[in-house]
Amino acid sequence: MTKTETAKLLSYITAVYPNIDIRQGTIEAWHDLLCDIPYENAKAAVKKVLAEQEISCLPAVGKIRAAAVELTTPRLPSASEAWGEVTRAMRLYGYYRPDEALASMSPATAAVVKRFGWREMCACEEPEVLRGQFRMAYEQYAAREREMAIMPADVRQLISGVAEQLMLDAGRIVQDIQNRPR
């Protein structure tokens, strides 16, 4: 979204709530926080937020970003739906066909299953305990994915860079420990 489009967005909001005063720097700040969202998506998100808002004030940028993600991103399966994908794959593919099992699942479900380990899940003798643990892990995964999707692109890149650096540092530490003379 361009700075001009950001100004149009703020103008739209002030047309709905004429008592809002747009101060110097507001357009620049909003543009910085919303520039990675296409204008049409941002406008649809603003409409959604304004329609749901009960107080006549400038909506929070975070609410607009969250609404834009909600309107433009495919919905993740619920934890129950994801567990259904897992149990279906267990029945169809079993212990010995993990690649086919993972391919049959949504990406979010497969990501959580990989953390548990497909074969470990299939071999578990406590399915109710496994279901509860899977549900908690899946809900954490979904919340983290949503949180990352809402963040501005430059903040996501910063976080990815920091995480990558931490992984490299951890790898070097492990390598140093393994290479120590005994």
Task: Give the model confidence (pLDDT) of 34-62 as tens digits.
Answer: 999 999 999 999 999 999 988 888 899 99
Task: Give the model confidence (pLDDT) of 88-139 as tens digits.
Answer: 999 999 999 999 999 999 999 999 999 999 999 999 999 999 999 999 999 9
pLDDT at 50: 94
Domain positions in the chain are 3-72, 79-147, 152-179
pLDDT exceeds 90 at position 171: no
| 127 touches 134 (CB < 8 A) | no
pLDDT at 107: 96
pLDDT at 115: 93
Average pLDDT, the chain: 90
172 vs 124, residue with greater confidence: 124
pLDDT at 179: 74
